[in-house]
Structure 1
Amino acid sequence: MHRTIEPKVLYFGTPVVLVSTRNEDGSANLAPMSSAWWVGQSGMLGLDRTSRTTENLDRTGECVLNLTSSALAGAVDRLALLTGTPVVPEHKMRKGYRYEPDKFAAAGLSPMPSQVVAAPRVAESPIQLEARVTRTHPFEDQDSGLVAVETRVVRVHVEEELLVPGGRHHIDADRWDPLIMKFCEFYGNGQNLRPSRLATAWGIPGRTGAVRG
């Protein structure tokens, strides 16, 4: 029997991406997001209109989409409630966000040079996609504060251990264990990995039904 509900989020299970961009002063910004989907050589990103990442994408037109494995859940969680915007927007402040200018250091991750774009890659990311923005679309209505950013992947970097033996351009699906955000919780290989600060900020109930925070 089905029940009609109104969930806070529709994160049924999407991969976590660390989006790296360049700030106006040349420093690096790094932001986790899990509203991404892929067709062909393009990726569509759902982002907050007020975020530093969106601002950087509008200005530079490029980024690196660093795909995360389940081993990086802790680093992603350390970034969950940080923003690169010095004046924290009210809607983020209510959820507990704070300004952090050095996201790489805060996450315990290492920047490395890209080959095609100016934004750095995340050295610890098993799959790194250098990309350029092709279009930005308003998402939902004009007051939603959300945008959909269409990107074109221009260079793909993959850890050798993830490749099919003897197949230089094929990723072994059995070896690739992406970090999945499922209703604001971290999952890898079908298992819940660790507590999530984002789940607490959103007031998502735990599996026992108790509300976090």
Structure 2
Amino acid sequence: MSLVAAEFTPQVLLDRLRTDDESALKELFHLYYDALVHFVTPMLRDQDRARDVVQDVFFKIWEKRKDLQVTSSLKAYLYMAVRNHALNIIKRENRIELNDDEVVLEAKSGSQDGSYDRLREKDLQKKLAACLDMLPPKCRQVFELSRFEHFSNKDIADTLDISVKTVENQMTKALQLMRSNLLPYLRLLLILASQYAFF
């Protein structure tokens, strides 16, 4: 690698960023901006909002440049930061709080079977969250990108800077855990197959 090329590697840019080098931020921005916008647009279904999310992430990186903890590759860090920021926005927008009257109305209008299934679904969601917490960080990232974001193994490998074989191994590990812990919920898993594509 030439000296000029070495100056623009992600790790070198990160080191320069920590020394308050604004030009390093600009170079990182130009290096990853388009790819990150392309990555997050399907999640938000709006390219303008995707651009805002990516810009927000770079702004936060500059704000926290002294304390950045990048344990994997910088590329993987950026992709996960953008993804998490987008998910937080989606969660805020989709959060619905029912008042007491609405809760009572829902309870009266629902059949016993329907209410039972809803309780079981909530139980399943809690169990799923517990299973995800049991996974090692890298394994969880691979599983979430595959099952929740519908990434191909190749896309996951590119995003996390790992090999396709590693992706396959991590998915096997995650699915084994899911199968063993979620087997009692097989009926609901079949009903919710379009939402939870575990098996």
Q: TM-score range by the shorter chain?
A: under 0.3
Which has a greater percent of helix? 2
TM-score of the superposed pair, with normalisation by structure 1: 0.21
Which has a greater percent of strand?
Answer: 1
Higher relative contact order (CA 8 A, sep 6+): 1
- TM-score normalised to the size of structure 2? 0.22
Largest Rg, 1 or 2:
2
